[in-house]
Structures are given as C-alpha cells and as structure tokens.
C-alpha cells in the first residue's frame, strides 16, 4: 500500500485546502478519503519520533508516536470519519474547512513530542473550532463564539507562559511528566484545566457547544476536551489533586443537567461528567486507572458523538431542541430513537455497551487505591448520568407528551454516521478485548464478572425505578423554558455589573470634582469681572462724556503744538 511519512495533521490540512476548493460529491469523497487514508497509514506506522528539527536551542518533535498518543489518534480518526459523514449534506464551505482543520489540529496536538508544538496546535484548536459556532449565524452564536474564543486563547497564553518557564528551568521542551512542581507546573495545569472543563472553568463548554450548528457540535464534542485529557494523562498522571477535581466534575454537572431545558446543553453538562471519570482515573495514576481513563475517553468520543448526533438530527429536522418543545418523536423518527437509545445505554454503562467496559476500570482503581469516598461519588455520578443522559434525553425528545411535531428521520448520511457510532458502541461493549489490546498497559482486566454485571444492572434499574416513581409522584422537575445560572453568571453578569457600578461611581465622583472646579473658576472670574466693572474701569466699554471732551481737547492741543513746530 502507498504510504507516507507526512504527519496526520498535514494530511488533514491538505484535505481542508481541497475542501475549500471543491464542491459537492467530489468534496465529500475527498473529505472522507483523507481520514480513512490517514488512519490506514497510521496503523502501519511504528512508534517513535518521525519528524524532528532544531529550533533555536531546542529540539522540536512535531510527530512522535507512542501508545498513549496512538490511542487518541485512532479515536480522533474515527470521530473525524463519523463527523464528516454526518455533515456531508452541509454546503457551507466554512464549516467543512473548519471541521477538517479542527480534526487535524487535534491530531497535531496528540502527536506533539514537545510543548511548543503542543501550544501551536492548542491555539489552532481554538481558532478553527470557533467557526463551527459562528457558522450558526445567529447574534447569540456570534457573542457566544467570541466568549469561547477569548477563554480558549487565554488557556493557550497560560500554556505558553508555562512552557517558557518550563524551558528555562529544565532546558528542554520535551513533553514528558510535568507534575505540580514550580510555577510552570501550575501554569500548564491551569491551561489544560480550562480546556478540560475543570469545575468553575467549565462554562465555556456548556455555553458554546449548544450554540454551534447541529453538525458542528458533533465535531466540538470529540476533540477539544479529549486533547486536554490526553495532555493531563501525559503531563500529570498520579497527581492526587486530579482525583478530587475529577470526582467533583462527575458530580456537580448532573444537577444542572437534570433541570436544563436545552437537550444539547444537557449533553454538554454530561460531557463534563464523563470527562470527570477520565480526570479521576489520571489522578489515581495506576496502570488500571490510566487504562480506564484512556479507554473511557475513547468510548466517550463515540457515544457522546452519537448522542450529539441524535439531538443534532432532532434539531435539524424540527428546528427545536428544548425539552419543553419536544416529545413523541419516536412515532416519526424511529431510527433516530433507537440510535439515541443505544448512545444513552452506552453512556449509562449498561453491560454489553461501551461505557460499561471502560468506566468500571476507573471505579475499580478508585477502590483498589483506598479512595472510598471518591468511589461513592463516582457511583452516585453513574446513577446520575443514567438519570439525565440515559433516560432524560431519549424520554423528553422522543417520548413524554406528544408535542405534535411530525418530523421524519434525518438524511441518509446522518443516519449512516449514527449507525457507525452505534455499531462501535455495541461492538466495543460486546468484545472489549479489541479496545483493551490498544491500551497503554496490559492489566488483564475483565469487566464481565457476575459481581460487577449484577451491581451495575441493579444500580441502573433502580435509577430507572426512581425516575418512574418521581414522575408518578409528580416530583420530577418539568422541562421549563428557562435559563439556569451557573458559574458563568459571575463573568456575564456579576463582574460587568460591579464594573458598571464602579465606573458609574467613578464618573459620579469625577463629575462632582469637575463641577466644583468649574464653580470655583466661575466665581473667580465673576470676582475679577465685578472688581473691574463700572464706568471707566478696566473691563468697561462705557466712558463718561466729560472724559471724551477732555481727550478731544488734548488732541486739538497736540495739533496746535505740531503746527507751531512746522
């Protein structure tokens, strides 16, 4: 087979160029051929550094392959194929080019052997993906996109500063274990934390992803956060702080997900919840935990993609995405319904679906390492994720009350993309050995023992029972047209309000000072004017007739004198 040494990101960027220049079927063919060729090529590539050069005093390695990066690269290729298939019907060239560049940037980031290359792709991820949000072409999407871009670029700036500190301290740019030592460790940690949606840094995600186009969100959900997870797995494995950050990430978003109305925003919250499991696994840092984190990232890209695709299909066909507007769609969108339920079963980690074989590794590792409370939090989050993503998403979109909407299943290309994703979800769930063989470590883990299957099934069925019971009791919160405040309220409302008040106060004080100064100046001038007013004073125009007569007399006298002189 024809091979190339070109790094995958170069192939994708060439693909983006072709996507910009071609139209119609040819474009679709090229855009699909690129990731397929790149994936086949990558399959043949041995591990090691395939591209390096010196830059100033440092060695740059833009194309370095090892087991960890390969794992992410494979799933990014799968995500690219799925997302491109899903968006084949889109005629907007900007979206096609942006999607291609975005996928390429993600691949560039995971193969970056040095931190400077990582930084370049880190920023490219932000710059390319924002067009998928702006492509929605609403005023809201424009503002949201700006906010997204500012936060992502800020993350990049933090990373760059951290990298500069790192380079001066270590004398190398090699992307290896970093750890929380020194300033550089924390700076890079926060930079990754922003992209990873750590608690309180997470709102760019729930803000931006639901505002992108139906196809754009599928791209977005796959790459940015997973690149961040990859960077954490390489730079910060075994950092204990991550265990608690991860546990918090699994738990807090589910409360918002339960009450949120926009179903794609529900999925955005549940994305944070899933990333929490990965972060937690990286924090635990044992072979089993890292395997679990990486495997879960792999599966999450596919099942979260599937869920975003099914909701994208609903949005594409009905023009609505709020739970309060939807319902009863199973009648006319049966295929989408089934595909969505497969995604929901996977994210909920039902036995025989993909989530089950990866999430359990993280939880088993949490127990093995004595993180009992963390394990309880993860268990609670597992029940919660079934509740909001597993039941709520399909229930409110496709069942619940009949909204009267009669949309048909989406275009064939969208269905095919969802079929591929659903097939992978079930395939990995039924035959996890294939996935396990790609993992960085060999742990001999088997998810299908009676204890684990029974425990997980009990957890899920009784969560479903709770949903039914709460609904029958009328205690389940109805879907309401509403906004729920989250931490972004601080920078969208509170800080602007404080600044506005502060500036208003400053302006007021400034006004008082100016006015009193003007008043002083005024009264000074008045005083001067008063002193010099009155007939024949300095500032007066009025002069008495007597003085005129006197001056006329003086002038005449001068004439007289001058006539004598001649």
Partner 1 sequence: MDNKPKHIFDDPKNVKRVMHFLYASCALLFALDFVIHRHVYHSWENLWGFHAIYGFAGCVVLVIVATWMRTFLMRSEDYYDDEWNTDLDEKNTSDTGAANVDD
> Which residue's CB is nearer to partner 1, number 110 or number 378?
378
Looking at 33, 485, 549, 553, which residue binds partner 1 (CB under 8 A)? 485
> Which residue's CB is nearer to partner 1, number 27 or number 392?
392
Is 313 in contact with 335 (CB distance < 8 Å)?
A: no
In a 3-state reduction of DSSP, which class is residue 522? helix
The answer to whether residue 474 forms part of the interface with partner 1 (CB under 8 A) is no
Rounded CA separation 478/324 (Å): 8
Q: Helices 412-430 & 67-86, crossing angle to 10 degrees? A: 150
The answer to whether residue 492 forms part of the interface with partner 1 (CB under 8 A) is yes
The answer to whether residue 468 forms part of the interface with partner 1 (CB under 8 A) is yes
> Which residue's CB is nearer to partner 1, number 117 or number 273?
273
Considering only residues 370 to 399 of the shown chain, the ones binding partner 1 according to CB under 8 A are 372, 375-376, 379-380, 383-384, 387, 399
Task: Look at residues 405, 394, 399 and name the one whose alpha carbon lies nearest to residue 263.
Answer: 394
Q: How would DSSP label each residue in 32-67?
A: HHHHHHHHHHHHHPPSEEEEEEEETTEEEEEEEE-H
Rounded CA separation 315/548 (Å): 95
The answer to whether residue 336 forms part of the interface with partner 1 (CB under 8 A) is no
Is 362 in contact with 296 (CB distance < 8 Å)?
A: yes
With contacts defined by CB under 8 A, name the span among 15-23, 25-33, 467-475, 547-555 that binds partner 1. Answer: 467-475
The answer to whether residue 484 forms part of the interface with partner 1 (CB under 8 A) is yes
Considering only residues 121 to 150 of the shown chain, the ones binding partner 1 according to CB under 8 A are 139-140, 142-143
Considering only residues 512 to 531 of the shown chain, the ones binding partner 1 according to CB under 8 A are 514
The answer to whether residue 254 forms part of the interface with partner 1 (CB under 8 A) is yes
Tokens representing 285 are 């840092």
The answer to whether residue 408 forms part of the interface with partner 1 (CB under 8 A) is no
Is 214 in contact with 312 (CB distance < 8 Å)?
A: yes
CA distances from 18 to 15, 33, 191 (A): 5, 11, 33
Rounded CA separation 288/454 (Å): 21
The answer to whether residue 461 forms part of the interface with partner 1 (CB under 8 A) is yes
The answer to whether residue 470 forms part of the interface with partner 1 (CB under 8 A) is yes
Please give, one letter per residue, the 3-state secondary structure of 200-255.
Answer: CCCHHHHHHHHHCCHHHHHHHHHHHHHHHHHHHHHHCCCCHHHHHHHHHHHHHHHH
Looking at 259, 287, 338, 352, which residue binds partner 1 (CB under 8 A)? 259
Taking the complex as a whole, the smallest distance from the CB of residue 153 to partner 1 amounts, in Å, to 19
Taking the complex as a whole, the smallest distance from the CB of residue 262 to partner 1 amounts, in Å, to 10
Rounded CA separation 394/398 (Å): 6
How many amino acids of this chain bind partner 1 (CB under 8 A)?
61
Rounded CA separation 534/529 (Å): 10
Looking at 182, 338, 455, 487, which residue binds partner 1 (CB under 8 A)? 455
> Which residue's CB is nearer to partner 1, number 148 or number 175?
148
Which residues would be at the binding site for partner 1 (CB under 8 A)? 139-140, 142-143, 254-256, 258-259, 330-331, 364, 367, 372, 375-376, 379-380, 383-384, 387, 399, 449-451, 454-470, 475-477, 480-486, 492-493, 500, 503-504, 507, 510-511, 514
């Amino acid at each position: 087979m024809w091979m190339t040494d070109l790094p995958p990101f170069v192939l994708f960027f060439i693909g983006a160029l072709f996507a910009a220049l071609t139209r119609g079927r040819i474009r679709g063919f090229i855009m699909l051929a690129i990731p397929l060729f790149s994936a086949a090529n990558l399959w043949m590539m041995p591990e090691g550094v395939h591209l390096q050069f010196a830059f100033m005093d440092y060695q740059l390695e833009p194309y370095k392959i090892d087991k960890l990066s390969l794992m992410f690269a494979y799933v990014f290729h799968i995500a690219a194929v799925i997302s491109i298939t899903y968006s084949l019907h889109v005629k907007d060239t900007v979206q096609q080019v942006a999607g291609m560049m975005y996928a390429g940037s993600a691949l560039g980031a995971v193969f970056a052997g040095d931190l400077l290359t990582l930084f370049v792709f880190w920023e490219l991820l932000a710059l390319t993906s924002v067009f998928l949000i702006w492509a929605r072409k609403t005023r809201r999407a424009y503002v949201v996109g700006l906010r997204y871009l500012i936060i992502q670029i800020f993350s990049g700036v933090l990373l760059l500063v951290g990298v500069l500190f790192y380079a001066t301290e270590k004398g190398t740019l090699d992307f290896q274990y970093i750890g929380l030592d020194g300033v550089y460790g924390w700076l890079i940690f926060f930079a990754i934390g922003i992209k990873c949606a750590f608690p309180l840094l997470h709102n760019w995600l729930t803000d931006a992803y639901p505002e992108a186009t139906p196809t754009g969100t599928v791209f977005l959900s796959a790459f940015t956060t997973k690149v961040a997870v990859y960077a954490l797995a390489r730079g910060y494995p075994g950092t204990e702080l991550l265990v608690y950050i991860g546990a918090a990430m699994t738990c807090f978003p589910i409360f918002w997900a339960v009450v949120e109305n926009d179903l794609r925003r529900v999925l955005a919250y549940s994305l944070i919840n899933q990333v929490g499991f990965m972060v937690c696994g990286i924090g635990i840092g044992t072979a089993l935990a890292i395997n679990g984190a990486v495997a879960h990232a792999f599966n999450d890209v596919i099942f979260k993609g599937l869920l975003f695709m099914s909701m994208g299909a609903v949005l594409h066909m009905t023009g609505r995405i709020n739970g309060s507007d939807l319902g009863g769609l199973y009648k006319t969108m049966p295929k989408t319904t089934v595909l969505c339920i497969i995604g929901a079963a996977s994210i909920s980690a039902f036995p025989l679906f993909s989530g089950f074989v990866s999430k359990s590794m993280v939880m088993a590792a949490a127990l093995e390492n004595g993180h009992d409370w963390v394990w309880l939090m993860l268990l609670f989050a597992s029940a919660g994720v079934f509740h909001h993503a597993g039941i709520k998403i399909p229930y409110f979109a496709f069942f619940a009350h009949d909204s009267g909407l009669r949309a048909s299943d989406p275009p064939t290309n969208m269905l095919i993309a969802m079929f591929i994703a659903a097939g992978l979800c079930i395939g990995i769930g039924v035959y996890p050995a294939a996935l396990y063989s790609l993992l960085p470590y060999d742990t001999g883990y088997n998810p299908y023992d009676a204890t684990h299957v029974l425990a997980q099934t009990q957890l899920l069925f009784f969560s479903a029972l709770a949903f039914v019971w709460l609904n029958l009791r009328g205690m389940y919160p109805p879907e309401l047209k509403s906004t729920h405040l989250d931490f972004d309220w601080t920078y969208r409302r509170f800080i602007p309000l404080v600044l506005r008040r502060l500036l208003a106060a400053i302006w007021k004080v400034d006004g008082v000072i100016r006015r009193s100064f003007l008043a002083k100046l005024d009264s000074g001038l008045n005083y001067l004017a008063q002193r010099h007013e009155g007939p024949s004073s300095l500032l007066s125009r009025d002069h008495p007739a007597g003085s005129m007569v006197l001056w006329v007399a003086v002038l005449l006298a001068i004439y007289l004198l001058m006539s004598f002189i001649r």
